[in-house]
């Protein structure tokens, strides 16, 4: 946190204000900080190369590195240059998608480990998470093809991987094995629920994905639970559940929300790892709030 504050202070230091030409070789060390950050994340919005998404190299970065890159993008979304602001916002949207998909990948891989403690209600939860993941990417899915850049000049540095894109919302699955993991998790959750916990199969098979307000079907989406009656409920960033309880957790830096945790609730090892106290986007502590 101290390092991020130092970066923010140096970014907006008086020496940096008014600096427009990032290609000026005569800039001082502090002023070069901005250019160094842009080079690190591969951000080059000028010169007709306005990319709509981050470079492919981001796909191999660690979660903490992606969170740092996201922090830099947040600074850029407040830039005085409109082209930079617009491009940074597009990158930020894609970065959030990548971070959340990586979080889901971690949750699914953890659930598949036999050494990790899992409860019956965890089977219900992870089954809903996996079903939503599959619904976002699977229905009306186009044939698996590379995600092409919008122009030839950007094709060499924009994301170019095998992905599935839905015809409805053009969501991009940046994590190659995520859909396969979701299928495995859903099957394992069903087996555990029925055979280990000896609970009725219909409980997990017939879980509904409807609006908790009007029971209408919801549009598959990772951020919101929205129905035809326009009841947009924010989803928990960690579990994808609609946040309908009066008390929830909130990140004051990015405004994403997560389910609240009761101090009296006995959580399994898997649920503790999933509902952790930090924001998956910022890696900063979540605070309790009330609607």
Could you report the per-residue pLDDT of 210-224, keeping only the tens digit for each?
888 888 888 889 998
CB of 128 within 8 A of CB of 207?
yes
CB of 290 within 8 A of CB of 247?
yes
Where would I find the beta strands (DSSP E) of the chain?
145-146, 162-163, 218-219, 224-227, 233-234, 247-250, 257-259, 287-290
- pLDDT tens sequence across 147-206: 333 333 333 333 333 333 333 445 788 999 999 999 999 999 999 999 999 999 999 987
The percent of residues in the chain predicted with pLDDT above 90, rounded, is 52
Please say if the pLDDT value at position 40 is more than 50.
Answer: yes
* Alpha-carbon distances of 116 from 23, 55, 159, 192, 260, rounded to whole Å: 51, 35, 34, 13, 22
Longest dimension (CA), the chain: 71
In the chain, how many H helices and how many E strands?
Answer: 8, 8
The percent of residues in the chain predicted with pLDDT above 70, rounded, is 76
């Amino acid at each position: 946190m101290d390092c991020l504050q130092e970066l923010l202070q140096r970014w907006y230091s008086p020496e940096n204000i008014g600096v427009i030409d990032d290609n000026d070789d005569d800039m001082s060390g502090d002023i070069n900080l901005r250019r160094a950050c842009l080079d690190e994340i591969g951000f080059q919005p000028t010169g007709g190369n306005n990319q709509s998404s981050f470079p492919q190299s981001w796909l191999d970065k660690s979660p903490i590195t992606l969170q740092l890159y996201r922090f830099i993008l947040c600074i850029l979304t407040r830039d005085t240059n409109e082209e930079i602001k617009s491009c940074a916002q597009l990158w930020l949207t894609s970065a959030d998608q990548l971070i959340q998909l990586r979080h889901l990948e971690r949750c699914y891989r953890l659930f598949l480990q036999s050494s990790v403690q899992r409860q019956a209600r965890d089977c219900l939860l992870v089954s809903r998470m996996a079903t939503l993941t599959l619904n976002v990417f699977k229905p009306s899915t186009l044939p698996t093809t590379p995600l092409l850049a919008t122009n030839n000049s950007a094709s060499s540095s924009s994301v170019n991987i095998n992905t599935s894109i839905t015809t409805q919302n053009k969501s991009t699955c940046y994590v190659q094995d995520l859909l396969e993991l979701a299928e495995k998790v859903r099957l394992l959750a069903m087996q555990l629920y029925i055979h280990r916990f000896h609970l009725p199969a219909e409980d997990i098979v017939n879980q509904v994905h409807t609006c908790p307000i009007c029971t209408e079907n919801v549009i598959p989406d990772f951020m919101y639970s929205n129905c035809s009656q326009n009841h947009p409920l924010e989803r928990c960033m960690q579990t994808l559940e609609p946040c309908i309880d009066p008390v929830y957790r909130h990140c004051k830096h990015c405004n994403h929300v997560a389910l609240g945790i009761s101090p009296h609730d006995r959580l399994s090892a898997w649920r503790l790892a999933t509902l952790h106290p930090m924001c998956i986007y910022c890696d900063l502590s979540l605070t309790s709030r009330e609607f």
